[in-house]
A and B are shown apart, each in its own frame.
Chain A
Amino acid sequence: MLEVNGLCKHFTKDKISFAAVDGVSFSMDPGECLGLVGESGCGKSTTAQLIARLLREDQGEIWFQGEDLRKPAIWKRLRRDIQMIFQNPSDSFDPRYTLLSSVKQGLRYLERCSKDELEHRAKDAIACVGLKETYWKRPIRQLSGGECQRAAIARAILSNPKLVICDEATSALDVSVQAQIVALLQRLKQEKHLAYLFITHDLALAASVCDRIAVMYRGRIVELGPTLEVIREPGHPYTQMLLSCVLPARVDQPFELPDWEVQRPLGRGCAFYPYCSKAAPECAEKSPQLQTSGRRAVACFHPSCL
């Protein structure tokens, strides 16, 4: 349904250009949930914004249902099928508007439907995310962080999209409300065959909602595969490091906080080289490409699986 090919995006700061997204390729099926995890600043939100056409790529292709999304006419026609929930939900709302009218805005420009129907659907969506009637007339500014995030979710599901890009859509929610939202997303996925690109930092959450997971490091996908397989048997050293850093929510087992100094990237070779315990001389010279084997893919010269 969605196919992303060799996507690149550079930003220039003080005449120095650096690649925020550096050759990202993946594909998604209808009704699939693909998780996107990775280091802070590795380019997840930039990838999301490229797909949602909020940024222009420098290179690469984005195909949605067999059509080239980069063409403005096609994007105009298909935009209601792709919705995005932003990392900072309050950024995407005008803080003075009420919750109800903000959520309704999700549809206003996209679809012609009667005022009553619009009202009805918006109220339904708000109820789905667990916000009560007493919130309808509240300005966005007066909502708590998690309430605002839920308003953004309500707005995104309103237009019956086919793909929802969730950029840390549950990071401001406590675990019990998160469970409720996850149940809602799962239900929509089954009933309406909705697909999600699910950006998150919570690996346990990814384990329960994502069918497949893509691990990003410094602008590239370094590992891709079925979520539970990747978590059980991570192939890339970065994925291994990621899994070893999950802070246990219990006190009966001692846990040593990992200890390493931040390293500057080499600028060539494998980006993970400075931290990698398996690094060999060749890793500092050549940059590993994503190698596929069955349903799994790893970009490493010394993968632990495949």
Chain B
Amino acid sequence: MLEIQQLQVSYGGTPIVKDVSLCLAPGQIAGLVGESGCGKSTFLRAVMMLLDDTAHLDGGSILFEGQDLTTLSQKQLRSLRGHEIVMVFQNAALASDPMKRVRHQFYETMSCHQSGVSKKDCYAHAESLLETLHFPDPKRVMKSYPFELSGGMNQRVALAVAMANHPKLILADEPTSALDVTVQAQVVKRMRELRDQFGTAMLVVTHNMGVVAQLCDFVGVMYAGRIVEWGTVSEVLGSPRHPYTCALIRAIPDMSGADPVGIPGAPPDFLCPEPGCDFAPRCSRARAECRKEVPSRCGFSNTHWVLCPYAEGM
């Protein structure tokens, strides 16, 4: 259903997203994790063909149900967006129009794609959606403007608006980062139900490994604009292979109160890229070859691969 081939995006000539390929079938949920600033949001916006003016799509293709989104006109894209493919932005409050009440946002999204839907039906549908996302008083929320809602409420509203049309694909950029764990668990459950009911595919960027473990089927680990490890959730979280993935999983704080352990060294600078594997300067296993050329894929199963030749036997 979604097939991305060697997508490349740059900002002002600096490559940010490098050679990203992935496939998603209907009803599959993939997570995308990685260091802050590694290009996750840029990648998601590129899939939606919603890049900034400073960004440039350097190559690759995005096949959605057989048509290549990179070749479609703005008009064709607009008719897909909000209906077949929807995006939930990282900063939910900023992305929504501050002058529009929540109910207006719902009505706009729904009436745009289901002509003839009445306001009453639309509001009723929206309220029941909000209720499943743990709003005890959906009526007040429907009348509110974004600034009258808390950070986590705006985030859930954005997700509910995205779900309203039962799209085929949801691209969600950190949809649960502002939610407490009880509400987060409800939202994860709701997203899984949506997938089970309507076969919605989702690509979810998150920093929360718990969300990855409990929501996703697949997970991609991104480092410096490349997916360096891809596999099913149990493959990647259960037996991580790439040195960066291993370090990332070690850095997850537990409840013991111990200081979290970071990854020594700094992330690479996009402006002065070095040859070879981007993780080499921070990698305990790096050899001289690692600094010469970008490693190619090494497979462990049909679904599990890494960009590292020395990943075996961890």
Bound together = yes
> From residue B216, how far is it (CB to closest CB) to chain A in Å?
10
Q: Which of B41, B251, B254 has the most CB of A within 10 A?
A: B251
5 CB < 8 A contacts A-B: A90-B91, A130-B266, A144-B37, A147-B36, A258-B189
Q: Give me the interface of A with B, judged by CB distance under 8 Å.
A: 11, 13-14, 16, 18, 37-41, 44-45, 87-88, 90-91, 130, 132, 134, 142-147, 150, 168, 171-180, 182-183, 186, 201-205, 207-208, 227-228, 231, 241-242, 245-252, 255, 257-259, 262-265
Q: How far is the CA of A45 from the CA of B93 in the complex (A)?
A: 14
Given contacts A13-B144, A175-B248, A257-B189, contact A201 B94 (CB under 8 A): no
Q: Give me the interface of B with A, judged by CB distance under 8 Å.
A: 11, 33-37, 41-42, 52, 54, 90-91, 93-94, 131-132, 134-137, 140, 143-144, 148-153, 156, 173-174, 177-186, 188-189, 192, 207-214, 233-234, 237-238, 247-249, 251-263, 266, 269, 271
Q: Is the CB of B151 within 8 A of A145?
A: no
Given contacts A208-B258, A251-B213, contact A202 B179 (CB under 8 A): no
Given contacts A145-B91, A231-B255, contact A41 B152 (CB under 8 A): yes
- Chain B residues near A178 (CB, 8 Å)? 207, 251, 260
Given contacts A145-B41, A177-B262, A248-B214, 11 further A-B contacts (CB under 8 A): A14-B140, A37-B180, A40-B150, A40-B179, A40-B183, A91-B94, A249-B237, A251-B233, A257-B188, A257-B214, A258-B185
Q: Which of A147, A150, A203, A208 has the most CB of B within 10 A?
A: A208
Q: Is the CB of A262 within 8 A of B189?
A: no
> From residue B202, how far is it (CB to closest CB) to chain A in Å?
16
> From residue A186, how far is it (CB to closest CB) to chain B in Å?
7
- Chain A residues near B131 (CB, 8 Å)? 262
**Of the residues B41, B94, B149, B152, contact of A90 by C-beta under 8 Å:** B94
Q: How far is the CA of A287 from the CA of B90 in the complex (A)?
A: 38
Q: Is the CB of B210 within 8 A of A40?
A: no
> From residue A188, how far is it (CB to closest CB) to chain B in Å?
15
Q: Is the CB of B135 within 8 A of A262?
A: yes
Q: Is the CB of B151 within 8 A of A174?
A: no
- Chain A residues near B156 (CB, 8 Å)? 40
